Amino acid sequence: MSLMAQEEEVIVTIDLGRQHLQLRQGRRCLFEAAVSTAANGPGERLGSECTPRGWHVIRARIGAGCAENTVFVARRPSGEIHTPALSRKFPRRDWILTRILWLSGLEPGRNRLGAVDTMRRYIYIHGSPDDVPMGVPGSHGCIRMRNRDVMILFDLVRAGTRVLISGENP
């Protein structure tokens, strides 16, 4: 009787302290990028505008085939393509661009169900304007990435990929 080698699980890890994302398969790093998480730091409560910690899963992949800088509103392409001029026209808009990886918590009471439900808080990994700084906290709870980086990550993951968010903001 022989044992078949199982392929190691692919997971996304997000380190809040380093403001860094990695896509890992076992000990091997498949992809990495700087990110920007919540300006308010880590936290799980509805309305906190914090980035939730713990184990999550990619619930949905949104934006396949959309152009880079596609603007999303309520997870749908708005028909706009982000430009600096559009940013100047709408200076208070929280831009969700290019691709969306919608997260759902896996830990009841911590990031799933009730007032701590990541999915019901609409927490995403998503693209952002080129002038948004990476490597420093600045979002309203989501994990922001450069558009090119989120396109690469999007193509490497599937719905069901697990995501671990850990650490404290710098």
Judge contact between 12 and 163, C-beta under 8 A.
yes
Return per-residue pLDDT of the chain as tens, 170 residues.
445 556 799 999 999 999 999 999 999 999 999 999 999 999 999 999 999 999 999 999 999 999 999 999 999 999 999 999 999 999 999 999 999 999 999 999 999 999 999 999 999 999 999 999 999 999 999 999 999 999 999 999 999 999 999 999 87
Strand partners, 57: 104, 162
Look up tokens 């990929």; give the residue.
161
Cα separation, 50 vs 71, whole angstroms: 22
User: What was the pLDDT predicted at 2?
Assistant: 43
pLDDT tens digits along 72-113? 999 999 999 999 999 999 999 999 999 999 999 999 999 999
pLDDT of residue 52: 98
Q: Domains in the chain and their CATH numbers?
A: 10-166 (2.40.440.10)
Q: How far apart are CA 41 and CA 162, in angstroms?
A: 21
Distance CA 120, CA 97 (A): 20
Q: What is the pLDDT of residue 5?
A: 53
At residue 169, the pLDDT reads 84
pLDDT the model gives residue 63: 98
Give kind and range of the element (H or E) at residue 152.
helix 147-156
